């Protein structure tokens, strides 16, 4: 058919075709009237809050008009609406200073994920089967209300419980207020890699139940004990920015980094020196360093005054920490201990960081206290180039006497009748995945008669719910966070909705307020909407020429205090005369679960670069991100030292079985030079049974086989204290997918 | 005056966090290919972080190097293209015209840096992930080669804006997606024809070197070496 005939034919048949298409509704494109106006092709930048971790970075989202398929009043159609195209760091934000990490960049996929829950659902199948039916918001909220009214009628108000993730925010305050007014139990909060041991240590040492901020950009020497502060720990973007400055941001000064850890982390790879110490002996090393500093009189004059309370009387107390004894216990050579101590004392400002696995041992709190004291001794507390605490807005959540999730689980498992009738599960909290099987989390939660989840995705925990009331997606609702670390000034990150909700979801904060209003005897929360609550918390912020505090915060993506001229001063608490327990002068040997003969290897699970604790394993961009150490994608693996692998006749990719006293798992082996021969390491994040099409059924979850042992004072899970054995099962099963394998990588000697 | 876009990557700042990798994929509509195709080496990261192990435990070292198209002045990918899909722009970029490309893959074979990728199949996005696609960047179909463009869509937008203002693009006003997201500020992008630009300054650093300099491709990406001292 040439062009002329084609035109003739279309002219004749065109009218008919148009009419014919009206009969088949499937060919009709219903276009709804847009609810907002955008200039096509022109981008608007709106502030947002990164939801991925507790760092609380500020983002800017690029919003442009596009066509989205939506459902309106039961009709499917298309509407032009503002869509999120790209996230960038908010350049004004004091924590991330315009940058974002890989996980933050991928956060936009939370909103446009194909397996997001699009409307309220009610369970129809067995619990955990994932079988639900759609219900209306009206019916869903009515059902929740009837359950709550039943609690009130039965005088069992305390049988209402809430389980969420940690972190200070207005939303957390609202939940607390709701629970208090209702008369429910206090909210339980859980995150596998939470840093409660370090917070508790800082409370004992400095009176601040808070994570520390490190002034890396002014430091000359940084000693990091196991903290992957450039990759996954605390506030990685803020710390990465400061690290860049520390290395090349000053004329003539290049700060140095020494990393101590049994497995080379991303941070360890950047260190000038890397020292593998025996797992769990980092605090012993810190005391050995302190002893050398004192016995050689290297203690800087500046350190004496403020540090006094923490370190006075130490020389007598550190008799057992001679370099030789430290070598015996930690595996770090005595001469190296002495040299390291002299470097810390001479290359000032110097600072010591402890985080991650060293605190996940039975002696974790003692190790953290030892490092706090060492920093005080070095004169690095509250000084430029040292460690300090970020000023905080509002109250910080007081530490529970025992970790709240364990308390909840113990209550559930120990009693015949569940002490909890209704459990509210917040989005993002997934203890069924993130806790050892030995905790029997799933079994405990199944005893609760009625579970309501606010999760935007079905995961191992939210799949147990009877009623799912999905929260708005990231960027679709009001958000606010109060970061505890990473800046010199107080920060509140805040953002208005940047996008209209794509689906029939509702902001959990507003749902709670509605429930509070509609109870027979209303809870009388002081606000009608979450927006109103946020605005009210900004009333005390002073007005500036730009406008009142609330308006300015909305425009800039948050509020931050004026830059302090120097790092905030922190006073050691010991001046009250009450000696902190346990004393910083003693770090015991770590205790491990598993007999050394039967279970010869230390098992080291670690937060993975792409997935952290696994809560973002459902994002396809992160699944396909090659791990920077192993270059593996879409995979999980068991890391082995080359000598260990050779002895066990295990080759790269072979399927191996890792067995602990509390379970076993199978995964492909990855032979990695940066790992001690007596350690077996494994990234956390994969091994989801149920977490969207991208993460479900992929790999194994190392958390499953951990022993349920705890740091004794805080009760926090000692996730690095399990021993394992390892056995080869079979040849490669093809599940280990490496990027470097196809890129013909050759080491280039002497290139840099 | 014409621009000459270049980049400096400070390996002493780079932490290997790979924020650049996701930022690039998000900006440039790079599809994920899934585990099966990824295992066949068909993932298409325009920028990747290469890692090199040296030594044996415990004296082991690990070095990172972000590798992207080096935008060579003497680019091996250009003369081999029979359709001029792969060509040199006025600004010195190695550009790829997708609708001229007939998929010979000569360019990818000629490139010594392995930074050109072939679309073995049509890209797909599970709905509604496609709503995130950047309307400023073409989605590439099956059978064409693709590569880092130095975010040419951002360059063009900045040029248009500068022209409207009657000025030139100022140093720092324009960043590639990888540079913008980099927490440690290891990646710096700018105009090498401006001797005062930060990228020019860094490219003159005594720590600077070019990747595979000896093959004579004249890259416009300068790597500043890590200053490790034990």
For A161, the 3-state DSSP assignment is: strand
Q: Which of B30, B40, B45, B51 would best serve as a mutation to test chain A binding (most A beta carbons within 10 A)?
A: B51
Identity of the residue in B33, B63, B126 whose CB atom sits nearest the CB atom of A752 = B63
Q: What is the pLDDT of residues A379-421, one digit of tens each?
A: 899 889 999 999 887 655 555 555 688 889 999 999 888 999 9
- Please list, in sequence order, all residues whose beta carbon lies within 8 angstroms of the beta carbon of residue A404, skipping any fewer than 6 positions away: A186, A187, A188, A189, A190
Does residue A643 carry a pLDDT above 70?
yes
Architecture of domain B5-224: 2-Layer Sandwich (3.30)
- Please list, in sequence order, all residues whose beta carbon lies within 8 angstroms of the beta carbon of residue A315, skipping any fewer than 6 positions away: A291, A294, A295
Q: How far is CA A684 from CA A100, A214, A284, A360, A610, in A?
A: 22, 26, 27, 14, 10
Inspect the interface and report whether the beta carbons of A102 and B27 lie closer than 8 Å: no
Residue A576 binned pLDDT confidence (cut-offs 50, 70, 90) = very low
* Total domains present in chain A: 2
Q: Please, are residues A248 and B13 in contact by the beta-carbon 8 Å criterion?
A: yes
Chain A neighbors of B58, CB-CB under 8 A: 274-276, 676
Lowest-confidence pick of A133-137, A166-170, A516-520: A166-170
What is the C-alpha to C-alpha distance for residues B180 and A5, in angstroms, rounded to an integer? 54
Beta bridge partners of A493: A481, A558
Identity of the residue in A99, A256, A751 whose CB atom sits nearest the CB atom of B181 = A99
Helix crossing, A323-330 with A282-295: angle to 10°?
170
Beta bridge partners of A9: none
Residue A5 binned pLDDT confidence (cut-offs 50, 70, 90) = low
Q: How far is CA A62 from CA A496, A627, A702, B158, in A?
A: 14, 27, 37, 16
Q: Quick one: pLDDT at residue A743?
A: 39
A281, A290, A366: which is closest to A323 by C-alpha? A290
The pairing of beta strand A663-671 with beta strand A638-640: parallel
CA dihedral sign, ordered A151, A156, A157, A161 = negative
In chain B, residues 17-36 whose CB comes closer than 8 Å to chain A: 17-19, 21-23, 25-27, 32-35
Residue A578 binned pLDDT confidence (cut-offs 50, 70, 90) = very low
Q: Quick one: pLDDT at residue A747?
A: 43
Inspect the interface and report whether the beta carbons of A248 and B132 lie closer than 8 Å: no
Does residue B214 carry a pLDDT above 90?
yes
Inspect the interface and report whether the beta carbons of B38 and A624 lie closer than 8 Å: yes
Q: Quick one: pLDDT at residue A561?
A: 82
Chain A neighbors of B25, CB-CB under 8 A: 621
User: Smallest CA–CA separation between B57 and chain A, in Å?
Assistant: 6
Rg of chain B over Cα atoms, rounded to whole angstroms, equals 18
In chain A, residues 71-110 whose CB comes closer than 8 Å to chain B: 83-89, 96, 98-106, 108-109
Burial of B167 (0-12, 13-18, 19+ CB in 10 A): exposed
- Please list, in sequence order, all residues whose beta carbon lies within 8 angstroms of the beta carbon of residue A471, skipping any fewer than 6 positions away: A427, A454, A455, A456, A477, A505, A506, A507, A508
Helix crossing, A508-518 with A530-537: angle to 10°?
100
Percent of chain A scoring above 70 in pLDDT: 88
Inspect the interface and report whether the beta carbons of A109 and B132 lie closer than 8 Å: yes
Inspect the interface and report whether the beta carbons of A621 and B22 lie closer than 8 Å: yes
Chain B residue with Cα closest to A68: B131
Mean residue pLDDT across chain B: 95
Chain B neighbors of A747, CB-CB under 8 A: 52-54
Inside any domain, residue A166: no
Inside any domain, residue A557: no
A648-677: average pLDDT: 96
Question: How many Cβ pairs within 8 Å bridge chains A and B?
Answer: 230
Q: Quick one: pLDDT at residue A308?
A: 53
Does residue B134 carry a pLDDT above 50?
yes
Is pTM beyond 0.90? Reply is yes
What is the C-alpha to C-alpha distance for residues A473 and B203, in angstroms, rounded to an integer? 43
What is the C-alpha to C-alpha distance for residues A686 and A299, in angstroms, rounded to an integer? 46
Burial of A74 (0-12, 13-18, 19+ CB in 10 A): exposed
What is the C-alpha to C-alpha distance for residues A509 and A505, in angstroms, rounded to an integer? 12
Residue A746 binned pLDDT confidence (cut-offs 50, 70, 90) = very low
Question: Which residue among A388, A407, A432 closes a domain?
Answer: A388
Chain B residue with Cα closest to A698: B35
Chain B residue with Cα closest to A747: B52
- Count the Cβ atoms, other than its own, within 10 Å of residue A577: 6
Buried/exposed code over A92-112 (b: 16+ C-beta within 10 A; e: otherwise): ebbbbbbbbbbbbbbbbbbbb
Identity of the residue in B41, B64, B230 whose CB atom sits nearest the CB atom of A628 = B64
Chain B neighbors of A102, CB-CB under 8 A: 17-19, 21-22
φ/ψ region of A591 (left if φ > 0, alpha if ψ in -120 to 50, else beta) reads: beta
Burial of A598 (0-12, 13-18, 19+ CB in 10 A): exposed
The upper half-sphere exposure of residue A366, i.e. CA atoms within 13 Å in the direction of its Cβ, equals 20
Does residue A197 carry a pLDDT above 60?
yes
Residue A699's domain comprises 601-742
For A211, the 3-state DSSP assignment is: coil
A188-216: average pLDDT: 92
Identity of the residue in A268, A272, A752 whose CB atom sits nearest the CB atom of B225 = A752
Chain A neighbors of B133, CB-CB under 8 A: 85
Chain B neighbors of A41, CB-CB under 8 A: 135
Percent of chain A scoring above 90 in pLDDT: 76
Return the structure tokens found at B50: 């290469």
B199 against A561, higher pLDDT? B199
Inspect the interface and report whether the beta carbons of A240 and B17 lie closer than 8 Å: yes
Q: Please, are residues A82 and A64 in contact by the beta-carbon 8 Å criterion?
A: yes
Return the structure tokens found at B214: 């000896």
In chain B, residues 43-82 whose CB comes closer than 8 Å to chain A: 43, 45, 48-58, 60-65
The three state secondary structure string of A329-367 is HHCCCHHHHHHHHHHHHHCCCEEEEECCHHHCCCCHHHH
Q: Please, are residues A51 and A29 in contact by the beta-carbon 8 Å criterion?
A: no
For A737, the 3-state DSSP assignment is: strand
Does residue B6 carry a pLDDT above 80?
yes
A175-200: average pLDDT: 94
A544, A716, A552: which is closest to A195 by C-alpha? A716
Does residue A581 carry a pLDDT above 80?
no
B15-41: average pLDDT: 96
Q: Quick one: pLDDT at residue A313?
A: 60
Q: What is the pLDDT of residues B159-174, one digit of tens each?
A: 999 999 999 999 999 9
- Please list, in sequence order, all residues whose beta carbon lies within 8 angstroms of the beta carbon of residue A118, skipping any fewer than 6 positions away: A470, A503, A504, A505
Q: Please, are residues A217 and A242 in contact by the beta-carbon 8 Å criterion?
A: yes
Q: Quick one: pLDDT at residue A89?
A: 97
Chain A neighbors of B12, CB-CB under 8 A: 247-248, 254
- Count the Cβ atoms, other than its own, within 10 Å of residue A534: 24
B89-112: average pLDDT: 96
Q: Quick one: pLDDT at residue A320?
A: 87
DSSP for A578-620, written as a single string: PPPSS-TT--PPPP-BS-TTTS-EEEEEEEBTTTBTTTTTT-H
- Please list, in sequence order, all residues whose beta carbon lies within 8 angstroms of the beta carbon of residue A191, skipping any fewer than 6 positions away: A54, A165, A166, A429, A434, A613
Give me the phi and psi of A697, to 5 degrees please: 65, 25
Q: Quick one: pLDDT at residue B126?
A: 97
Q: Please, are residues A624 and A695 in contact by the beta-carbon 8 Å criterion?
A: no
- Count the Cβ atoms, other than its own, within 10 Å of residue A642: 15
Inside any domain, residue A297: yes
What is the C-alpha to C-alpha distance for residues A555 and A587, in angstroms, rounded to an integer? 49
Q: Which of A55, A99, A108 would best serve as a mutation to test chain B binding (most B beta carbons within 10 A)?
A: A99
The pairing of beta strand A655-660 with beta strand A601-607: unpaired
The upper half-sphere exposure of residue A242, i.e. CA atoms within 13 Å in the direction of its Cβ, equals 28
Buried/exposed code over A440-476 (b: 16+ C-beta within 10 A; e: otherwise): ebbebbebbebbbbbbbbbbbbbbbbbbbbbbbbbbb
Inside any domain, residue A330: yes
Chain B residue with Cα closest to A752: B225
Chain A neighbors of B56, CB-CB under 8 A: 642, 673
Identity of the residue in B48, B186, B224 whose CB atom sits nearest the CB atom of A739 = B48
Inspect the interface and report whether the beta carbons of B227 and A241 lie closer than 8 Å: no
Question: Which residue among A353, A388, A423 closes a domain?
Answer: A388
- Count the Cβ atoms, other than its own, within 10 Å of residue A565: 6
What is the C-alpha to C-alpha distance for residues A670 and A686, in angstroms, rounded to an integer? 15
Inspect the interface and report whether the beta carbons of B10 and A248 lie closer than 8 Å: yes
Q: What is the pLDDT of residues A295-350, one digit of tens each?
A: 888 887 655 444 455 666 666 668 889 999 999 999 999 999 999 999 999 999 99
What is the C-alpha to C-alpha distance for residues A671 and A178, in angstroms, rounded to an integer? 51
Chain B residue with Cα closest to A100: B181
Q: Touching check for A734 and chain B: CB below 8 Å?
A: yes
Q: Please, are residues A535 and A549 in contact by the beta-carbon 8 Å criterion?
A: no
Does residue A582 carry a pLDDT above 60?
no
Q: Quick one: pLDDT at residue A401?
A: 55
Please tell me what DSSP assigns to residue A438. Answer: G
Inspect the interface and report whether the beta carbons of A741 and B41 lie closer than 8 Å: yes
Inspect the interface and report whether the beta carbons of A745 and B52 lie closer than 8 Å: yes
Does residue A656 carry a pLDDT above 90?
yes
Q: Quick one: pLDDT at residue A544?
A: 84
Say how far residue A136 (Cα) sits from the centre of its chain. Answer: 33
CA dihedral sign, ordered B3, B4, B10, B11 = positive
Chain B neighbors of A247, CB-CB under 8 A: 10, 12-13, 184, 227
In chain A, residues 113-142 whose CB comes closer than 8 Å to chain B: 113-114
In chain A, residues 36-65 whose CB comes closer than 8 Å to chain B: 41, 64
Residue A571 binned pLDDT confidence (cut-offs 50, 70, 90) = very low
A221-234: average pLDDT: 97
Lowest-confidence pick of A181-195, A359-373, A504-518, A560-574: A560-574
Chain B neighbors of A609, CB-CB under 8 A: 17-18
- Count the Cβ atoms, other than its own, within 10 Å of residue A366: 28
The pairing of beta strand A679-684 with beta strand A601-607: parallel
For A48, the 3-state DSSP assignment is: strand
Chain B residue with Cα closest to A262: B58
Question: Which residue among A388, A418, A446 closes a domain?
Answer: A388
Lowest-confidence pick of A114-118, A128-132, A424-428, B184-188: A128-132
Mean residue pLDDT across chain A: 89
Inspect the interface and report whether the beta carbons of B181 and A741 lie closer than 8 Å: no
Q: Please, are residues B128 and A114 in contact by the beta-carbon 8 Å criterion?
A: yes
Chain A neighbors of B19, CB-CB under 8 A: 99-102, 104-105
Q: Quick one: pLDDT at residue A449?
A: 95
A181-202: average pLDDT: 93
Inspect the interface and report whether the beta carbons of A244 and B183 lie closer than 8 Å: yes
In chain B, residues 128-187 whose CB comes closer than 8 Å to chain A: 128-135, 177, 180-186
What is the C-alpha to C-alpha distance for residues B153 and B136, in angstroms, rounded to an integer? 6
Rg of chain A over Cα atoms, rounded to whole angstroms, equals 28
Q: What is the pLDDT of residues A596-623, one digit of tens each?
A: 999 999 999 999 999 999 999 999 999 9
Q: Please, are residues A626 and B48 in contact by the beta-carbon 8 Å criterion?
A: yes
Identity of the residue in A247, A693, A752 whose CB atom sits nearest the CB atom of B13 = A247
Identity of the residue in A673, A674, A737 whose CB atom sits nearest the CB atom of B35 = A737
| CATH number of domain containing A230 | 3.40.228.10
DSSP for B174-193, written as a single string: ---HHHHH-TT--EEEEETT
Does residue B230 carry a pLDDT above 80?
no
What is the C-alpha to C-alpha distance for residues A201 and A585, in angstroms, rounded to an integer? 13
Inspect the interface and report whether the beta carbons of B129 and A41 lie closer than 8 Å: no
């Amino acid at each position: 058919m040439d062009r002329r005939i084609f035109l003739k034919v279309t002219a004749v048949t065109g009218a008919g075709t148009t009419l014919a298409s009206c009969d088949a509704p499937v060919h009709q494109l219903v276009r709804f009237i847009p609810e907002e106006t955008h200039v096509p092709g022109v981008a608007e930048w709106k502030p947002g809050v990164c939801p991925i971790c507790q760092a609380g970075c500020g983002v800017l989202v690029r919003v442009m008009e596009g066509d989205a398929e939506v459902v309106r009043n039961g009709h499917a159609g298309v509407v032009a609406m503002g869509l999120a195209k790209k996230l960038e760091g908010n350049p004004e934000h004091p924590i991330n200073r315009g940058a974002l990490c890989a996980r933050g960049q991928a956060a936009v996929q939370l909103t446009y994920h194909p397996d997001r829950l699009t409307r309220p659902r009610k369970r129809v199948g067995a619990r955990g089967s994932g079988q639900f039916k759609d219900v209306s918001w009206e019916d869903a909220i009515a059902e929740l209300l009837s359950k709550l009214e039943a609690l009130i009628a039965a005088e069992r108000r305390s049988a209402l419980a809430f389980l969420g993730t940690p972190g200070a925010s207005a939303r957390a305050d609202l939940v607390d207020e709701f629970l208090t007014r209702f008369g429910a139990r206090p909210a339980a909060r859980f995150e596998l890699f939470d840093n409660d041991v370090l917070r508790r240590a800082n409370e004992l040492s400095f009176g601040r139940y808070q994570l520390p901020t490190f002034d890396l950009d002014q430091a000359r020497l940084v000693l990091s004990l196991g903290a992957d502060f450039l990759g996954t720990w605390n506030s990685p973007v803020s710390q990465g920015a400061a690290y860049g400055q520390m290395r090349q941001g000053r004329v003539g000064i290049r700060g140095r980094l020494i990393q101590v850890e049994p497995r080379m982390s991303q941070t360890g790879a950047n260190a000038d020196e890397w020292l593998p110490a025996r797992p769990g002996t980092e605090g012993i090393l810190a005391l050995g360093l302190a002893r050398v500093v004192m016995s050689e009189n290297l203690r800087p004059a500046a350190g004496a005054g403020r540090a006094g309370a923490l370190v006075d009387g130490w020389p007598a107390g550190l008799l057992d920490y001679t370099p030789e004894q430290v070598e015996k216990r930690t595996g770090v050579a005595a001469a190296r201990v002495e040299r390291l101590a002299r470097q810390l004392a001479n290359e000032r400002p110097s600072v010591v960081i402890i985080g991650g696995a060293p605190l996940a041992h039975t002696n974790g709190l003692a190790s953290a206290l030892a490092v706090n004291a060492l920093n005080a001794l070095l004169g690095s507390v509250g000084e430029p180039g040292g460690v300090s605490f970020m000023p905080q807005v509002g109250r910080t959540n007081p530490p529970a006497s025992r970790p709240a999730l364990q308390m909840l689980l113990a209550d559930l498992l120990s009693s015949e009748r569940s002490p909890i009738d209704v459990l509210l599960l917040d989005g993002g909290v997934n203890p069924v995945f993130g806790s050892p099987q030995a905790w029997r989390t799933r079994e405990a939660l199944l005893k609760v008669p009625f579970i309501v989840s606010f999760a935007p995705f079905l995961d191992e925990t939210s799949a147990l719910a009877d009623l799912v009331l999905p929260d708005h997606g990231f960027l679709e609702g009001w958000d606010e966070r109060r970061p505890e670390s990473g800046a010199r000034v107080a920060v509140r990150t805040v953002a208005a909705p940047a996008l209209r909700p794509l689906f029939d979801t509702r902001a959990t904060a507003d749902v709670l307020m509605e429930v509070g209003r509609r109870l027979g005897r209303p809870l009388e929360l002081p606000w009608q909407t979450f927006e109103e609550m946020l605005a009210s918390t900004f009333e005390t912020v002073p007005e500036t020429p730009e406008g009142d505090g609330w308006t300015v915060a909305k425009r800039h993506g948050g509020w931050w205090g004026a830059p302090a001229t120097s790092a905030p001063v922190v006073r050691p608490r010991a001046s009250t005369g009450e000696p902190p327990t346990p004393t910083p002068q003693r770090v015991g040997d770590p205790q491990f679960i598993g007999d050394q003969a039967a279970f010869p290897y230390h098992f080291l699970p670690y937060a993975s670069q792409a997935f952290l604790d696994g809560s973002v394993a459902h994002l396809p961009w992160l699944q396909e991100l090659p791990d920077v150490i192993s270059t593996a994608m879409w995979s999980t693996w068991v890391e082995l030292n080359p000598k260990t692998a050779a002895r066990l006749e295990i080759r790269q990719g072979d399927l191996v079985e890792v067995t602990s006293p509390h379970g076993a798992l199978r995964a492909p082996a990855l032979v990695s030079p940066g790992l001690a021969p007596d350690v077996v390491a494994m990234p956390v994040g994969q091994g989801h049974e149920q977490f969207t099409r991208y993460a479900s059924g992929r790999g194994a979850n190392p958390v499953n086989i951990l022993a349920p042992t705890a740091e004794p004072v805080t009760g926090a899970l000692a996730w690095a204290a399990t021993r394992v054995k390892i056995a080869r099962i079979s040849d490669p099963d093809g599940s280990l997918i490496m990027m470097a394998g196809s890129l013909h990588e050759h080491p280039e000697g002497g290139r840099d | 005056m014409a621009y000459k876009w270049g980049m400096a990557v400070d390996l002493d700042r780079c932490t290997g966090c790979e924020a650049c990798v996701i930022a690039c994929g998000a900006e440039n509509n790079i599809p994920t290919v899934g585990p099966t195709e990824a295992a066949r080496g068909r993932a298409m990261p325009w920028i990747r972080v290469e890692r090199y192990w040296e030594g044996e435990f415990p004296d082991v070292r690990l070095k990172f190097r972000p590798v992207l198209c080096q935008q060579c002045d003497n680019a091996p990918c250009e003369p081999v293209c029979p359709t001029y899909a792969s060509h040199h722009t006025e600004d010195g970029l190695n550009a790829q015209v997708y609708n001229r490309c007939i998929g010979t893959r000569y360019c990818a074979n000629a490139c010594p840096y392995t930074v050109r990728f072939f679309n073995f199949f049509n890209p797909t996005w599970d709905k509604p992930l496609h709503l995130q696609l950047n309307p400023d960047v073409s989605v590439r179909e099956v059978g064409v080669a693709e590569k880092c463009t130095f975010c040419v869509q951002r360059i063009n937008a900045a040029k248009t804006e500068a022209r409207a203002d009657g000025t030139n693009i100022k140093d720092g006003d324009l960043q590639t997606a990888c540079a913008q997201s980099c927490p440690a500020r290891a990646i710096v992008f700018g105009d090498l024809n401006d001797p005062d630009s930060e990228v020019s300054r860094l490219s003159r650093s005594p720590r600077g070197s070019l990747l595979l300099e000896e093959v004579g491709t004249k890259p416009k990406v300068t790597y500043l070496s890590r200053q490790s001292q034990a």
